[in-house]
Amino acid sequence: MQSRFRSDRRLTARMAVTLFLLGLVYVAFVAALIVLLKSWVLVVVVAAALLGAQYWFSDRIALYAMRGRVVEREEYPELHAVIDRLCALADMPKPVVAVSNMDMPNAFATGRNPDNAVVCVTTGLLRRLEPAELEGVLAHELSHVAHKDVAVITVASFLGVIAGLIVRFAFYSQLFGGGRRDQNTAVVFAAVMGVSAAVYALSFLLIRALSRYRELAADRAAALLTGRPSALASALTKVSGDIARIPTKDLRTAQAFNAFYFTPALGREPGIARLFSTHPSLDQRLDQLGRISAELGEAATPGGA
């Protein structure tokens, strides 16, 4: 079913190109592992099982990792009311609604398609935002679901995850068991580690390029759907500022899911991490919302409610 969120052909094209390129890398990766490990059955079965698990259970994995739980209307009537209104406005199925008991103000959407999606907000976000700001954030997350880029980023991130796991496995295997292996085995493990590291780097760069654009696309779609880009700009400013004041050590668990968040958990001094961020800079996002505000003739300025 086509939602009323404005379609974005450039986003669709970027998703297609990213998946195609990652598909080529994935095939080459599996082929290299088969050659190195000399067991195509093991490699194919394990890779397919992990991909399937990430695709079908990504929503549950994300909720578990972020301590989120599904909430009914009786528990959070205002949250459900906002999502009901936005889904009716966008003409899309209502996702499962979840809340994470975290002070970090943030939100994310996950799921393999609009009929099997979850939108989760933290209690820190609910406590800090005004109703119009919350509506903007939720519209942003719903646009990810409607554009299906949540499913794409989930599949795309799989390759980096499995490559990273293999690198760690190979490293610790050599670290703790190097003395029990012959030289040929050590060479194979080194080759596996090298291939996996290269694949991880390629997938990392491709996902960052897609993720940054999809965040701008979601901001744009949310602003146009609600007609209040200034409220979304205000939410962005408030959430980014509050996250920056949270110690980095308290954000480390959350950082693994930065690609899915409304705004990344970068901490007080992001440094070089900002260069490799899954999101465009706050200034870029606010500049875009400012232009949309001017186009719509909105009285409020970006950054103000």
Query: Which helix (H) or strand (E) is 110 found in, with range?
Result: strand 107-111
Tokens of 123: 């209690």
> At residue 251, what are phi and psi to the nearest 5 degrees?
-105, -5
> At residue 242, what are phi and psi to the nearest 5 degrees?
-70, -40
- The answer to whether 129 and 107 have CB atoms below 8 angstroms apart is no
Sheet holding 117-122, edge to edge: 68-70, 96-100, 117-122, 107-111
72 is in an annotated binding site: no
144 is in an annotated binding site: yes
215 is in an annotated binding site: yes
In 3-state terms, what secondary structure has residue 107?
A: strand
Tokens of 7: 């379609």
Q: Residue 290: what residue type?
A: G
C-alpha span between 274 and 128 (Å, rounded): 24
- Ranges of H-type helices in 129-182: 131-146, 149-177
- The answer to whether 242 and 125 have CB atoms below 8 angstroms apart is no
CA atoms within 13 A on the CB side of 153: 29
Name the catalytic one among 78, 141, 269, 295.
141
Would you call 78 a catalytic residue per the annotation? no
Q: Facing residues of 235 across strands?
A: none
C-alpha span between 122 and 98 (Å, rounded): 9
C-alpha span between 178 and 244 (Å, rounded): 42
In 3-state terms, what secondary structure has residue 121?
A: strand
Annotated binding site for Zn(2+): 140, 144, 215
Q: Which residues carry out catalysis?
A: 141
